[in-house]
């Protein structure tokens, strides 16, 4: 344990020395009497030895959702009697104390073991390590402190809570496997598509008897099959706008996790491209395992500062299947990610942009020039959105005033309109 | 007369400076040394004005300085984020009182030894007090039940 003198140790030593010197200079015994208790305290403090302390940390689980409360226990044991030992658990970002005392001062007798129950609330999604216990004790007089840290860290993954989302953006193209998306092509399925004259080889069960009776010749029903789709969540982590406790990246990860989990529930294959200072990717896949993989990859995402210019060429080709729907979650702040998205659209990818608005995190100035600059900045962003829309990529802006569901409804409406224009 | 009032002014001035520094020491611990030195300096100035043969108030001053130093330390602990377990908070004031008593006894002992070397007056009283204490301890031991 690290040894450190309290401020009183130095003060008492200085006072004792000064009083003794003054006693000699003035030939006054009284000052020696004043110096005596301080000199004795300093002598006792200097001789103090650190006690032998041990600590352990236990956590009831290693995975949690935002808002969950975890049970943790810090156990402290001392081989010698300690009058006062301060015990604290270092809490990482995203975890706060919900119940219990942290730090707390304990009195331990020789060989005593004490358990400190704590309840910890997971405030923000993150992948952290928790369990660094710090101990601080002092000698009997309190003039010398002994401090130490005991590393009992273990990983804790806090997953973002998925927002309520009933509708999703339908991809323009579907894949061959069965899923929940009604495909545009006509084949075996549930959804009625159209009728056509009977041709040899058609099943009898597909005959539409009412239409047949009306037309006088055999007519069969055509249906849309239910297929799955490939969806790639494109998370822009080049830049973010943030205040001290919240930023666009937090919202972006939450949005990406929500979108990915909803598409996976529909049996679609979902992949991830975290496009930023560090490029992370996950090839499209389906199922619960893929969901855990995706969320784990999202938790690792952070804004890594980089000057390197990156474009879509750095993304592995298999990560972006040709007929995949690309859902980009971005604050539209960095030219590199904007350029990459425009490039993706230019290469024919079905693109939807979910813009995490940086405006709630801005504190614009109040003078006229600042307000003019803000208006110009807003105009530039509006022009950028219009540019995406001119290329056929819908842009939905997510902020405090609009829910994801409302934003996606706007995207769906735009895409219906865009299809009509294409025809 | 003017010189005397100047000296009293110095005592009061040093005392006030000491008090102010003591208050500041709760926030800035480095100031504790100068604070105690200023308070002790006020006593030295008083000693120089009165010039008694042997001032027994020194034991009280030593006690007061120890208690002030410990109270500042306690105040800093209370200002920190760490809270004592319920039932343990009373231990610190008791400990400070005990340290004050110890400081009083030690300073008194030093004064007694000095007095013994000088006129033997105060030392005889100290020896008498120690003898009385010893007699009390012996009596307590004698009255205690066997095996206790």
- At B123 the pLDDT is 60
pLDDT higher than threshold 50 for residue A422: no
| Helices and strands: H and E segment counts in chain B | 5, 1
List Cα–Cα distances, A137 to A6, A51, A107, A172, in angstroms: 11, 8, 10, 66
Contact B32, B72 (CB under 8 A): yes
| Residue A34 contacts B, CB cutoff 8 Å | yes
CA pair distance B110, B105, nearest whole angstrom:
9
pLDDT higher than threshold 80 for residue B23: yes
Whether the bond between A103 and the residue before it is cis, its omega within 30 degrees of 0, is yes
Chain A residues with CB inside 8 Å of B66's CB? 37-38, 41
Q: CATH for A227-422?
A: 3.40.50.410
Contact B40 A142 (CB under 8 A): no
| Residue A28 contacts B, CB cutoff 8 Å | yes
Contact A344, A312 (CB under 8 A): yes
Average pLDDT for A311-339: 87
Chain B residues with CB inside 8 Å of A86's CB? 82
Q: Give the pLDDT confidence of B64-98 residue by residue, as tens digits.
A: 999 999 998 888 888 888 777 777 778 888 889 99
Q: Provide the shortest C-alpha distance from residue A103 to chain B (in Å).
A: 5
Q: Give the pLDDT confidence of A1-60 residue by residue, as tens digits.
A: 788 888 888 889 988 998 888 888 888 888 888 999 999 998 888 888 888 889 999 999
CA pair distance A271, A284, nearest whole angstrom:
4
Contact B32 A34 (CB under 8 A): no
Contact A174, A183 (CB under 8 A): yes
| Residue B98 contacts A, CB cutoff 8 Å | no
List Cα–Cα distances, A313 to A317, B84, B132, in angstroms: 8, 60, 96
| Residue B119 contacts A, CB cutoff 8 Å | no
Q: What is chain A's mean pLDDT, rounded?
A: 86
Phi-psi region at A285: left, alpha or beta (left = phi > 0; alpha = psi -120 to 50): beta
Q: Give the pLDDT confidence of B100-117 residue by residue, as tens digits.
A: 999 999 998 888 888 777
Name the residue in chain A with its Cα closest to that of B81.
A103
| Residue A76 contacts B, CB cutoff 8 Å | no
pLDDT higher than threshold 70 for residue B144: no
Name the residue in chain A with its Cα closest to that of B114.
A29
Q: Give the pLDDT confidence of A347-377 residue by residue, as tens digits.
A: 888 899 999 999 888 888 888 999 999 999 9
Q: Give the pLDDT confidence of A135-187 residue by residue, as tens digits.
A: 998 887 788 888 889 999 999 988 888 777 788 888 888 777 777 777 777 77
Contact B110 A32 (CB under 8 A): yes
CA pair distance A403, A102, nearest whole angstrom:
37
SS3 content of chain A, % helix, strand, coil (to 5): 35, 35, 30
CA pair distance A263, A299, nearest whole angstrom:
19
| Residue A395 contacts B, CB cutoff 8 Å | no
In A, residues 139-178, which contact B (CB 8 Å cutoff)? 141-142
Read off the pLDDT band of A423 (50, 70, 90): very low
Considering CB atoms only, which of A10, A18, A36 is closest to B107?
A36
Instruction: Identify the DSSP state of A123.
Output: -
Chain A residues with CB inside 8 Å of B119's CB? none
Contact B82 A104 (CB under 8 A): yes
Q: Give the pLDDT confidence of A195-233 residue by residue, as tens digits.
A: 999 999 988 888 999 999 999 999 999 888 877 888 999
Is the pTM higher than 0.80? The answer reads: no
CA pair distance A180, A231, nearest whole angstrom:
13
Which H or E run includes A3? strand A2-5
Q: Provide the shortest C-alpha distance from residue A94 to chain B (in Å).
A: 20
Contact A289, A309 (CB under 8 A): no
Kindly give the pairing relationship between strand A144-159 and strand A2-5. Answer: antiparallel
Average pLDDT for B7-33: 84
CA pair distance A389, A343, nearest whole angstrom:
14
Instruction: Identify the DSSP state of A312.
Output: G
CA pair distance A102, B83, nearest whole angstrom:
8
A53-159 belongs to which CATH class?
mainly beta
Q: Give the pLDDT confidence of A262-308 residue by residue, as tens digits.
A: 899 888 899 999 888 888 888 999 888 888 888 888 888 776 666 66
Burial of B58 (0-12, 13-18, 19+ CB in 10 A): buried
Considering CB atoms only, which of B32, B61, B63 is closest to A11?
B32
Contact A9, A145 (CB under 8 A): no
**Domain residue limits, chain A:** 2-46, 53-159, 194-224, 227-422
Q: Provide the shortest C-alpha distance from residue B117 to chain A (in Å).
A: 11
- At A141 the pLDDT is 79
- At B1 the pLDDT is 43
Residue A52 sits at φ, ψ, to 5 deg, of -90, 110
Contact A8 B32 (CB under 8 A): yes
Q: Give the pLDDT confidence of B124-134 residue by residue, as tens digits.
A: 666 667 767 87
User: What letters, b where the CB count within 10 A reaches 16 and e where it falls short, cover A344-370?
Assistant: bbeeebbbbbbbbbbbebeeeeeeeee
CB contacts < 8 Å between A and B, how many? Answer: 117
Look up the ipTM and state it. Answer: 0.77
């Amino acid at each position: 344990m690290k040894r450190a003198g309290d401020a009183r140790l130095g003060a008492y030593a200085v006072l004792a020395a000064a009083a003794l010197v003054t006693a000699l200079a003035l030939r006054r015994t009284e000052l020696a009497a004043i110096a005596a208790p301080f000199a004795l305290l300093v002598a006792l403090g200097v001789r103090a030895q650190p006690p032998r302390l041990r600590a352990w940390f236990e956590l009831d689980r290693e995975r949690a959702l935002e808002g969950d409360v975890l049970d943790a226990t810090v156990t402290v044991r001392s081989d010698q009697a300690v009058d006062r030992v301060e015990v604290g658990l270092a809490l990482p970002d995203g975890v706060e104390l919900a119940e219990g005392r942290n730090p707390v001062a304990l009195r331990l007798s020789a060989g005593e073991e004490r358990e400190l129950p704590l309840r910890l609330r997971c405030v923000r999604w993150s992948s952290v390590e928790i369990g660094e216990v710090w101990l601080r004790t002092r000698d009997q007089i309190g003039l010398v402190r002994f401090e130490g840290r005991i590393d009992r860290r273990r990983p804790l993954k806090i997953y973002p809570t998925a927002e309520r989302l009933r509708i999703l953006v339908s991809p323009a193209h579907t894949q061959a496997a069965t899923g929940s998306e009604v495909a545009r092509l006509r084949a075996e399925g549930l959804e009625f598509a159209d009728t056509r004259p009977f041709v040899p080889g058609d099943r009898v069960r597909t005959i539409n008897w009412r239409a047949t009776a009306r037309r006088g010749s055999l007519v069969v029903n055509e249906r849309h099959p239910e297929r799955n789709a490939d969806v790639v969540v494109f998370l822009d982590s080049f830049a973010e706008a943030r205040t001290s406790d919240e930023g666009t990246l937090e919202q972006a990860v939450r949005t990406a996790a929500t979108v990915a989990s909803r598409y996976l529930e529909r049996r679609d294959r979902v992949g991830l491209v975290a496009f930023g200072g560090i490029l992370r990717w996950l090839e499209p896949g389906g199922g619960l395992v893929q969901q855990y993989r995706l969320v784990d990859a999202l938790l690792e995402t952070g804004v890594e500062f980089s000057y390197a210019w990156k474009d879509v060429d750095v993304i592995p080709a298999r990560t972006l299947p040709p007929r995949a729907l690309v859902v980009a979650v971005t604050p539209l702040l960095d030219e590199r990610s904007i350029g990459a998205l425009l490039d993706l659209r230019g290469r024919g990818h079905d693109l939807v942009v979910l813009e995490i608005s940086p405006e709630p995190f801005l504190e614009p100035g109040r003078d006229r020039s600042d307000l003019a600059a803000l208006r110009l900045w807003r105009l530039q962003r509006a022009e950028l959105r219009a540019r995406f829309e001119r290329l056929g990529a819908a842009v939905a802006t997510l902020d405090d005033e609009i829910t994801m569901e409302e934003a996606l409804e706007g995207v769906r409406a735009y895409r219906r309109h865009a299809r009509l224009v294409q025809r | 007369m003017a010189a005397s009032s100047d000296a009293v002014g110095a005592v009061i001035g040093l005392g006030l400076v000491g008090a102010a520094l003591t208050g500041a020491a709760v926030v800035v611990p480095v100031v504790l040394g100068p604070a105690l030195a200023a308070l002790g300096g006020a006593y030295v100035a008083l000693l120089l004005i009165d010039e008694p043969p042997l001032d027994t108030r020194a034991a009280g001053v030593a006690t007061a300085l120890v208690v002030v130093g410990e109270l500042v330390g306690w105040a800093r602990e209370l200002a920190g984020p760490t809270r004592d377990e319920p039932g343990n908070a009373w231990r610190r004031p008791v400990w400070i009182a005990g340290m004050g008593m110890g400081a009083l006894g030690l300073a008194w002992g030093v004064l007694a030894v000095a007095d013994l070397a000088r006129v033997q007056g105060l030392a005889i009283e100290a020896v008498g007090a120690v003898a009385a204490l010893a007699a009390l301890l012996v009596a307590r031991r004698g009255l205690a039940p066997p095996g206790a």
